[in-house]
Amino acid sequence: MCGITGYINLKEPVSKDIIQQMTDTLTHRGPDGEGIYVNEQQNLAFGHRRLSFLDLSEQGAQPMKDSSTQVVITFNGEIYNFLDLREDLKNSYSFKTNTDTEVILAAYKKWGIDCINHLKGMFAFALYDINLNKLFLIRDRFGIKPLYYTIQEGKCLFASELKAIHKVNLIPQKIDFSSFADYFVYRYIPSPKTIWEGVNKLPAAHYVEINLSDLSIQLKEYWKLNLNSLNNSPKTEVIKKTGELLKESIKEHIYADVPIGSFLSGGYDSSALVHYMRELDQKPNTFSIGFSKWEKSEDQYAKIVANHLGVENKSVIADEHSLNLVDKMAMVYDEPIADISIVPTFMVSQLAREKVKAVVSGEGADELFGGYTWQHDFFHRSYPSSFRSKVARFFKPKQHPVDFYAQAMAMGWFDKNELKKMLQPHLHSYIPDDVHWFYRQHFDKTATPLKSIQLMDIKCFMGELVLTKIDRASMANSLEVRVPFLNHKLFEYIFSLPEKQYFKPTQTKYLLYENIKNHLPTSILNRKKQGFVGPDAYYMDIDWYRTQLKNSKLVELNIVKQSYIDNLLKETYNWKLWKLLIMEKWVQKWM
CA end-to-end distance (rounded Å), the chain: 30
Q: Which letter does DSSP use for residue 117 in this model?
A: G
Out of 3.60.20.10, 1.10.600.10, 3.40.190.10, 3.50.50.60, which CATH number does the structure's domain 2-221 have?
3.60.20.10
Q: Please state, in angstroms and rounded to a whole number, the distance separating the CA atoms of residues 459 and 475.
A: 22
Cα–Cα distance for residue pair 264/351, rounded to 1 Å: 12
pLDDT band at 391 (very low <50, low <70, confident <90, very high): very low
Q: Which tens digit of pLDDT belongs to each residue from 522-545?
A: 999 998 876 666 777 788 889 999
Where exactly are the structural domains of the chain? 2-221, 235-319+330-370+466-525, 540-591
Distances (CA, A) of 564 to 364, 544, 571, 584: 37, 17, 12, 14
Is 103:73 a contact under the CB 8 Å cutoff? no
Sheet holding 261-263, edge to edge: 313-318, 286-291, 261-263, 358-360, 480-482
Q: Which of 270-279, 435-444, 539-548 is predicted with the least confidence, judged by mean pLDDT?
A: 539-548
Q: How far is CA 518 from CA 330, 447, 501, in A?
A: 43, 34, 20
pLDDT score recorded for residue 218? 98
pLDDT of residue 367: 97
Give the model confidence (pLDDT) of 44-65 as tens digits: 999 999 886 665 556 778 999 9
* Mean pLDDT (the chain, rounded): 93
pLDDT at 381 over 90: no
**Cβ(55)–Cβ(62) below 8 Å:** no
Q: pTM of the prediction?
A: 0.95
- Collapsed DSSP state (helix, strand, coil) of residue 272: helix
List, in sequence order, every residue forming a beta bridge with 49; answer none if it has no partner: 3, 34
Listed residue (521, 489, 71) closest to 304, CA to CA: 521
**What's the confidence (pLDDT) of residue 296?**
83
| CA atoms of 17 and 5, how far apart (whole Å) | 13
Vertex 26 angle, CA 21 and 27, to 5°: 95
Task: Tell the CATH superfamily of the 235-319+330-370+466-525 domain.
Answer: HUPs (3.40.50.620)
What proportion of the chain, given as a percentage, has pLDDT over 70?
A: 96
Q: Residue 420 class from Cβ within 10 Å (0-12 exposed, 13-18 middle, 19+ buried)? A: middle
% the chain with pLDDT above 90: 84
Q: Give yes or no for a contact between 121 and 77, defined as CB atoms under 8 angstroms apart.
A: yes
Amino acid 398: pLDDT: 76
Measured in degrees and rounded to the nearest 5, phi and psi for residue 402 equal: -65, -40
Q: Dihedral, CA atoms, 571, 573, 579, 582, nearest 10 degrees?
A: 90
Using an 8 Å Cβ cutoff, are 416 and 434 in contact?
A: no
State how far the Cα of 415 lies from the Cα of 385, in Å rounded to an integer. 33
Show the CA angle centred on residue 510, arms to residues 508 and 512, nearest 5°: 105
Average pLDDT score over residue span 175-199 = 98
Instruction: Give the whole-angstrom CA distance, residue 341 versus residue 496.
Output: 32
Q: How confident is the model at residue 397 (pLDDT cuts 50, 70, 90)?
A: confident
**Do the beta carbons of residue 297 and residue 290 sit within 8 Å?**
yes
Confidence of residue 450 (pLDDT cuts 50, 70, 90): very high
How crowded is the C-beta side of 112, counted as CA atoms within 13 Å? 5
How far apart (Å, rounded) are the C-alpha atoms in residues 507 and 514? 10
Task: Give the residue-averaged pLDDT of 450-463.
Answer: 97
**Cα–Cα distance, 261 to 390 (Å, whole number):** 43
The CB-side HSE value for 441 (13 A sphere, CA atoms) comes to: 12
Q: What is the pLDDT of residue 238?
A: 97
Q: Give the pLDDT score at 295.
A: 80
pLDDT in tens, 216-236: 999 999 999 988 767 889 999
Phi, psi of 29 (to 5 degrees): -80, -15
